[in-house]
Structure 1
Amino acid sequence: MSTLIWGMLAETAIHTGSGRNLGVVDLPVMREAITDMPVIPGSGLKGAMREQVENEADCNRIFGSEDNAGLIQVSDARLLLLPVRSLTTASRWVTCPMILERVKRDCLRAGQEIKFTVPAKGKAIGSSAGKIFLEEREFEITTSPDFDNLVTVLQKFILHSDTKNRLKESLLVISDDDFAWFCRYGLQVQARNQLGDNKESKNLWYEESLPADSLMYCLLSLRNEADMQTLRTWWQRPYIRVGGNETVGMGWFAIAEVGA
């Protein structure tokens, strides 16, 4: 079995809806049932991949057809870094010990060992010490000797060099509980409106999205290394569109193969 890891950096807002109305948000994003963290189901990601290469000769063999199962295994796309608003800087990327521990396990499942120390729970760690405000919440940031190594590892999940270079100054490791709060209450919510023939409002709704610069990752597995090379060839232009609202430019990810 050949497995590769895709780092997926959101170039635009991403909406993969859950179809459930929760509170004031009419169209929330899909979330993990236990952690409540945003996720893109593997079935949806596989469908988006197939749509992008449906005219390729080996598409039906690798992704399947109506009559036959495909060869590829596509995991859920899991959240790794979430951008949040800051009162002291433009924005910050946040993650937490649970997310970091999980990505280490997922990489081991893919046959890749990534080495970094998961920070202790209950601490907020960044590149420099001091106070910072994220949304309306205040955090006291400390430093760690393991922080630079963590940054180096996470940079492998990002395609663009300039974006990698700003990761160190933007990254914060916060507690699991604080990260869960931002996942629940810190996502982008946009009001959208359907207009009638006379420009009157016919349907106003509120839609939740993952913000641009969110970083996710997924695992792709194939039994044959030659088929994996075919997959790499299809994504030499490393972009994929996932989820809804295609006509308003949403859903684009930039792909980085981790370990390539």
Structure 2
Amino acid sequence: MEIKLKKKVIYTGKIVLKTGLHIGGTNAGLNIGGPDKFVVRNPINNIPYIPGSSLKGKMRALVEIANGETNNGKPTNRIEDKAGALFGVSGDNDKSRPSRLIVRDAELWIDDPSVDFKNTDLPYTESKTEVSIDRVTAKSNPRTFERVPAGAKFNLAMVLNIFEGEDENGLKQTLKEAVRLLEDDYLGGNGSRGYGQVEIHLDKEDGEDRFY
């Protein structure tokens, strides 16, 4: 059955880091004495960013868990689920559904007047050394992570596609739920050790409508 696009809802805003963020990138540029784990960066300008896939995947997982849309830890992937309706369901049959949400890569706001990146020990980032202890042998294993420091901001951009006959309010509410859940969880790696706490500030809570 063919469906017609009704409108796009454009969401913009800022992702504010409350604690350091580590989303892993390549270690190809590893130097002796440098971090063991690098953050993902744009290879052209060397500026860190948050991949849209990381942001979208985390929000989907949180919505699935919060609404019991998993079975033995695996997503149920049903169209009638909140996560399925918003984030889509893969498949080659009538049980599939394209994602209604586009999440752009979030670029670091390097011109933020409230943040001075000149004080970071790496370009736009910090290095944080941690020591893990083997509880059997008591042997220490130091390792250094690269993190985008607390206080940095990323430019957020998302697009919600609304088709005729769909529950627009329901899709918007699920997106708002995903944002709230993310703020109460973490983004990136090592969240249980304090990394990746964020606040999300939308320019308009319900986005900006663009009709077609």
Calculate the TM-score normalised by the size of structure 1.
0.57
Change (3 A) 1:39 1:221: same
SS at match of 2:54: helix
Q: Distance in 1 between matches of 2:182 and 2:55?
A: 15
Number of aligned residue pairs? 168
2:102 is matched with 73
1:1-260 matches, within 5 Å, as 1-21=8-28, 22-23=30-31, 24-54=34-64, 55-56=66-67, 57-67=81-91, 68=96, 69-81=98-110, 93-94=115-116, 134-135=118-119, 184-196=122-134, 197-201=136-140, 203-224=141-162, 225-226=168-169, 227-236=171-180, 239=183, 241-260=186-205
Q: Deviations over 1:150-183 (max 9, x none)?
A: xxxxxxxxxxxxxxxxxxxxxxxxxxxxxxxx69
Any conservation in 1 of the 2:58–2:187 contact (CA below 8 Å)? yes
What is the root-mean-square deviation of aligned Cα atoms in Å? 2.7
% identical aligned pairs = 25
Q: Stretches of 4+ moved more than 6 A in 1?
A: none
Any conservation in 1 of the 2:13–2:155 contact (CA below 8 Å)? yes
* Amino acid across the alignment from 1:218: L
**Structure 1 stretch displaced more, 221-230 or 11-20:** 221-230
Change (3 A) 1:242 1:236: closer
* Amino acid across the alignment from 1:6: G
Q: Distance in 1 between matches of 2:155 and 2:142?
A: 33
1:170 is matched with none
* Amino acid across the alignment from 1:38: P
Any conservation in 2 of the 1:16–1:29 contact (CA below 8 Å)? yes
Identify the structure with the greater helix proportion. 1
Calculate the TM-score normalised by the size of structure 2.
0.69
Gaps of 5+ in 1: 85-91, 96-133, 136-181
- Cα deviation for residue 249 of structure 1 reads 1.8
Gaps of 5+ in 2: 1-7, 68-80, 163-167, 206-212
